[in-house]
Amino acid sequence: MSGFPAVRLRRLRRSEPLRALVREVQLTPADFIYPLFVTHGSGVRNPIGSMPGVFQLSVDQARREAAELGAYGIRAVLLFGLPAAKDERGSEAYHPDGIVQQAIRALKDAAPELVVMTDVCLCEYTSHGHCGVVEQGRVLNDPTLELLGEMALSHARAGADVVAPSDMMDGRVGAIRRVLDEQGFADTAIMAYSAKFASGFYGPFREAADSAPQFGDRRAYQMDPPNAREAMRELELDVAEGADLIMVKPALAYLDLVRRARERFDLPQVAYNVRGEYAMVKAAAQLGWIDERRIALEILTGIKRAGADLIITYHAKDACRWLEEDFRCRTTTTRAGTFRKTTDRPGNRY
Ligand code: PBG
Ligand code: ZN
């Protein structure tokens, strides 16, 4: 009795209500963290060519965006900043009135319940575009830690709930934790970009954040894509140094690591569905080669199924809209109180 014909797995696939009943993973708006790129000025909404639907926003526009995100049920944003000027040491990154610091204060004022996370890295702010202090063409580890500590502290002072170091210097989580604790910010959490790979999938990000390295690349600090065991060591170290949330980035080519990390750690785990992953979906959809809605939801579901608790994604707003449409479609009742027939529109469900 252990196999066919007694066992027929198709029985529970027969109709949408049955499929919905036994569905193992459900996306919700609470799964998403939405990245925002803030820039100086007012009334600015600069579209990013390789990222349809994503804009560089001035602080006033970011406030409006926060209200919209709240309406979608999205609970967290991750802030990136475009400074007014760049220099060798990325001074605006840790200036009390830097663009991100301004945005944190504005968002906390406009939407106190929105969780404000900030990317902590120097590359958007340095003239050379690298993630740390550069000397003789090399990115120095230990001198960078001090600047990252300053940057995280100034974000905490402005009111950030979570600081997220993305630089991949050794020891940065511990260094940031120490500074925050010493300065009275023991409650500010750290989301560590723990296993962050030197990836081609960040290409469009560097357009969005204007942070391309002016010489060389990031392979001397970001991880080598083939290394899974080393990724576990990076995660272990960040946990030991006091990370509150851990991350694997990018997501799609690294889902094995999302799964391995899920099995190994009990911390909340985040996966970053990076820009190149988003751009590929958008481009193929524009060409009419794929169904954007179906593919995006399938990708996000796959990331969650692999073990991510939270997904940083540029699809967040679209995904919330699609999920709500699906939900309305499933739960609308007729006056007789019976469920309306759910028609399977092709391409709408995964
Ligand atoms: C800054 C940073 C990057 C991303 C997040 N933080 C770019 C990089 O490391 O080159 C990538 C985000 C994305 O591609 O969506 N270090
Ligand atoms: Zn960086």
Question: Cα–Cα distances in Å, from 255 out to 50, 139, 169, 271, 308?
Answer: 24, 29, 23, 9, 9
Among residues 105, 115, 112, 90, which one has the least CA distance to residue 38?
105
Distance 325 CA to ligand 2 centre (A): 37
Q: Considering the entire predicted model, what is its pTM?
A: 0.94
Distance 329 CA to ligand 1 centre (A): 37
Which numbered ligand comes closest to the C-alpha of 130?
2
The pick from 205, 218, 272 for probing ligand 1's pocket by mutation, whose C-beta has the most ligand atoms within 8 angstroms, reads 205
Among residues 211, 139, 124, which one has the least CA distance to residue 170?
139
Bond preceding residue 47 cis, omega within 30 of 0: no
Distance 339 CA to ligand 1 centre (A): 45
Which numbered ligand comes closest to the C-alpha of 222?
1
Is 108 one of the catalytic residues? Answer: no
Q: Are strands 133-135 and 138-140 parallel, antiparallel or unpaired?
A: antiparallel
The domain at 25-340 falls in which architecture?
A: Alpha-Beta Barrel (3.20)
Kind plus residue range of the DSSP H or E element containing 304: helix 292-306
At residue 89, the pLDDT reads 96
What the block records as the tokens of 198 is: 């030197």
pLDDT tens for the chain, 350 residues: list them: 689 999 999 999 999 999 999 999 999 999 999 999 999 999 999 999 999 999 999 999 999 999 999 999 999 999 999 999 999 999 999 999 999 999 999 999 999 999 999 999 999 999 999 999 999 999 999 999 999 999 999 999 999 999 999 999 999 999 999 999 999 999 999 999 999 999 999 987 777 778 889 889 999 999 999 999 999 999 999 999 999 999 999 999 999 999 999 999 999 999 999 999 999 999 999 999 999 999 999 999 999 999 999 999 999 999 999 999 987 876 655 444 444 444 444 444 44
Distance 65 CA to ligand 1 centre (A): 21
Nearest CA to ligand 1 atom 6: 166
Amino acid letter, residue 180: L
**Backbone phi, psi, residue 17, to 5°:** -60, -40
3-state secondary structure of 41: coil
Among residues 97, 49, 102, which one has the least CA distance to residue 79?
102
Nearest CA to ligand 1 atom 13: 274
Q: Which of 196, 282, 304, 317 is catalytic?
A: 196
The pick from 56, 211, 275, 277 for probing ligand 1's pocket by mutation, whose C-beta has the most ligand atoms within 8 angstroms, reads 211
The answer to whether the CB of 163 falls within 8 A of the CB of 120 is yes
At residue 221, the pLDDT reads 97
CB under 6 Å to ligand 1: residues? 119, 121, 123, 131, 166, 202, 205-206, 274-275
At residue 334, the pLDDT reads 44
Distance 138 CA to ligand 1 centre (A): 19
At residue 338, the pLDDT reads 47
Locate the domains of the chain by residue range.
25-340
The pick from 118, 166, 194, 210 for probing ligand 1's pocket by mutation, whose C-beta has the most ligand atoms within 8 angstroms, reads 166
